[in-house]
Structure 1
Amino acid sequence: MSLPYSNSTSGRSAMDDIRKTIQAFGCSKFAPMEDFAEGKVIIQFEYRGRMVQVEANAKGYAAAWLKENPYSSRMRMSKAEHERRALEKGQIAVWSILRDWIKGQLTAIETGILSFDAAFLGQILLPTGETIYERTTSQGLLPAPENDAKP
């Protein structure tokens, strides 16, 4: 099985799709941003006074792609070029991943499966500028996940 989104080509057009989707849903603000140093794509939007921030990391995707497509000396490129290619794939894939995830969450809301707060709880921005997820993590409000490794 290949890594999902490894053949994505839409990249920035996915950003336009996100904007159209959340605008049709009734969101009043939309701000996409890329943090090149961190390799992150960040999307902020507002719905009925709730600010939401969703992030995806292209470097994380690139690492997963490299795991599935390890470098070989038989390739017609250097290891650095192969790693650069992985990051480029990640930069394209994360836009498509965010588009599909946001569309899925909004569809769940529209069909009554989830409330807005339930769908985006971890991504809702607090007045401090941190998300609810970041606050719960920093304050240790949730127990650490159990180790799923088999003995």
Structure 2
Amino acid sequence: MGMFRTAFMNVAGVHEEPKKGSYEWKKEHMTPQQLARTMDNAEKYNGIPAIPVDIGYHSGKNTGGAQKTGVVSNAASNPGVILGMGLTTAALLGMFKSSFLGDKVGAQKMMQYRIMAQFFTVTALVAGVTIFGATYEDEEHQK
């Protein structure tokens, strides 16, 4: 029986008998020894599966044959994109500040800076992909 259903039934004062073969029914019909053994096992084995040590702690072993991916490792491979994103964000924030202060000329300048920063970001992205494509060697071709 679900946790909320049990709570609602208890509040309503209705006690429903568990279905034969269910966990609750088995628990009610166990001998004290079986119940003690079940409680001992419940402390040892919870419902969460264990994660193997080599995967959980990144031991460096190739378990699945796939490379580890992530924001930090991808950013390290092409830092120009991260720099461009930072410049774009700074230009946007400057544009917002100038707009809120009523400085139309300053807002226009910041919009131009934003476009330049976005151009730099896209150029760095394309350059990174081009360099990666030119230097990539498939593992099968190496053998």
- Normalising by the residue count of structure 1, what TM-score does the alignment of the two structures yield? 0.26
Hey, which of these two has a bigger chunk of helix by percent? Answer: 2
Which structure has more strand as a fraction of its residues? 1
Larger radius of gyration: 2
Structure with greater contact order relative to length (CA < 8 Å, sep ≥ 6): 1
